[in-house]
Structure formats: structure tokens, C-alpha cells
Amino acid sequence: MLPSDIATVKDLLDTWDSGSTIWSVEMGGIGPGYEQAIQVLMVELCRAAAEKPRLPEETDAGYIARFEIMRDEVVHRVDGALGGLSGAQVGAASHLAFKFVTLGPSAALAQFDAQCPNDKDRKIQVSKDWPMVPVAKG
């Protein structure tokens, strides 16, 4: 699947939930587990925003304030399962999720390409199953 194939957050969530990979941007640079926590949090923030979308009459400031409340609720819910998130991880995931939610995933990735032409190697594919490895049963 190409980065341009996922135009909406709903498409992103459907793809993620099916176990398929989505395109994103590497935000951590520290290692695979640290990065996976960022990406999982980003998806869960997108999910929360999709469940409570921006209201037509909502100002930018109003939506940002509501998004921050959603962020805090999601972080509280998933923090333990992700091994304890750092403030940097929360900030990175929040920034990326907000872009995906407000622009759409493919448009957010295109904006990243335009604004950071020398950082195209930061685009990554992630899935909910990586880096987990099934345990062999014997």
C-alpha cells in the first residue's frame, strides 16, 4: 500500500485494525520498541479523535483544547500497556496524530515530504503486530 492510499483516519484505523501496515513518520529514532510505542499511541489518538470529531462550529483553539483532553485520556488508558510513555513520546505521537486527523494521513505525509525533503528516510511502515513475535508452542 502506498502512502497516498490512506486518505482518511477511518481508512488508517481499518488498515491498522486488520493487521496490515500503514505509512507513518519515524518520530523517536531511539529504537524499535520506543518507536512502536509512539506509533501505537498515535493510532489510538487518531481513534479517539475519530470517535469525537471536530464540530463544525468549533474554533481551532477549541478543538486543540479538546484534542489535548482526549490525548490525556488516551495516554492514561494505554500508558501501562506501552511500558510507560515519556513526555517526548507523548509529544511526538500527539503532533503526528493531530496532523493525520486535521489533514488526513496521505496529506500529512505529503506535507512532511514537502517540508522535510531531506528526511524522506524517516517514512516508515508500521503495524499493530510489529515488533511482537509470536511465541512458538511446542
Q: What pLDDT does residue 123 have?
A: 84
Which span out of 24-28, 58-62, 123-127 was modeled with the highest average pLDDT?
58-62
Do 61 and 73 meet the contact criterion of CB atoms below 8 Å apart? no
Q: What pLDDT does residue 29 have?
A: 74
**Bigger pLDDT: 135 vs 96:** 96
Task: Give the pLDDT mean for 10-26.
Answer: 92
DSSP state of 135: P
How far apart, in whole angstroms, are the C-alpha atoms of residue 14 and residue 37?
19
- Strand, coil or helix: what is 32? helix
Asked if residue 42 has pLDDT above 90, the reply is yes
Asked if residue 133 has pLDDT above 80, the reply is no
How far apart, in whole angstroms, are the C-alpha atoms of residue 56 and residue 103?
15
Quickly state the pLDDT bin for 124 (edges 50, 70, 90). Answer: confident
Asked if residue 72 has pLDDT above 80, the reply is yes
- Phi/psi of residue 107, nearest 5 degrees: -70, -35
Please tell me the chain's helix, strand, coil percentages from 3-state DSSP, rounded to the nearest 5.
60, 5, 35
